[in-house]
Amino acid sequence: MDFTMGATAAKLRGELRRLITDEVPADYLGAFTDDPADLAVAQRFCATLAGRGLLCLAWPEEFGGRGASIWEQTVVREEMWAQHEPRGAQYMGVNWVGPTIMRHGTPEQQRKHLPPIARGEVVWCQGFSEPEAGSDLASLRTTARRDGDGWAISGQKIWTSYASMAQWCFLLARTSNAGRKQQGLTVFLLPMTHPGITVRPIASMLGPHHLNEVFFDGVRATEADVLGAVDHGWSVVQEVLAFERVGIARYARCERLLHAAPEVLGESWDEIPEVLRGRWARMLTRCRRARLLAYQVLSLQSSGTVAPGDAAAYRIAVTRLDQESAEVLVELAAAVPADSETRRRFRRAVHDHWRYANAATVASGSIEVQRILLARELLTAPGSGWERPATESAAGAVRSRRRQAGRVGS
């Protein structure tokens, strides 16, 4: 495996790192802090990326991208997440809202929504989870009822990131009760300025804008707001979740902070207990493992063969890495004297990483749900008795997922 991805990717990494050094303050720890200046940094940086065609690098040119490969877009993801995501909330529109509209949107929806995302001008939020429909998303109760030539939407969403600052909501609602609970669901693209939408922030240690309750009280929607086919939104959402779960390169930040620890500690590194240094080395190994899983899923995704179990295997590995590396880094940071700005900055970055990592195994589907998805795919593989599948490629995929299951489930 060539982790550098070749000369083109290396050149792109260099360009992104120079931009970050020039445009983002050295002590930046994300857009959604108590300091409004941090959000302003992200908004300016998004405009810079968009102006250079780097925000939606892998999008087709007709939608505002540069037609680059998925691997070049992966370089962008890795460099952004490693540096505390200076795109702010834009990754949501870039990683999965835009691609989903490309696949399922009407030409009018594509003309309306894709250019503003590519320019970094619009923030989206995701209206999925509800008080009684989190891990079991298909049990949601928000309803969209026929009302003349449109729809009236009522219900409640919760844990909605960025809802207080978003201009648009990617909303999942129930439009019928026929058949299984996964049937009768529809995706709507709704402006957050609609009368009848109320946003209430939820206080958390993640900072402002992250978590909110959103209430819909008879919100009007038209047929033009429906994404895909009415009552068939579940298949759209499955694609969304696959994109979302591999879209954040969590391993990149873990790896950067782990590599920084010996340099920051300097001569004191040799005084770190051997057991702790051993854990540090294991975390670096697991960073590489998570990266390999991400690349495998991205390869499958680009060929159109990704399955829920593939994304789940990666998600399990990377969220556990996020949390366990954070614990190691906290112990290492405790040994770092705060006697220079570089060392103080490292300690703040570790603390920020630890805060976010605590939510890693819940966000975008809990780790328990990911294990169920992975187990279900393994147990329903061709032959169902773990026999060798009919094709060599399928056999390779199943063997790979068996190995992943043994590793990420341990």
Which residues does the annotation mark as catalytic?
244
Supply the Cα-derived Rg of the chain in whole angstroms: 22
Q: Decide: 354 and 275 in contact? Cβ < 8 Å.
A: no
User: Hey, which bits of 184-228 come out as E strands?
Assistant: 185-191, 197-201, 212-222, 226-227
Count of Cβ atoms closer than 10 Å to residue 157 Cβ: 26
Asked whether 246 and 302 are in contact (CB, 8 A), the reply is no
Judge whether 284 and 253 are in contact, CB under 8 Å: no
Biggest alpha carbon–alpha carbon distance for the chain? 73
The tally of CA atoms less than 13 A away on the side-chain side of residue 277 is 9
Bridging pattern class, strands 168-174 and 124-127? parallel
Q: Where are the beta strands (DSSP E) in 135-241?
A: 143-147, 150-157, 168-174, 185-191, 197-201, 212-222, 226-227
Element (H, E) at 106: none
Closest CA to 255 of 289, 226, 279, 284: 284
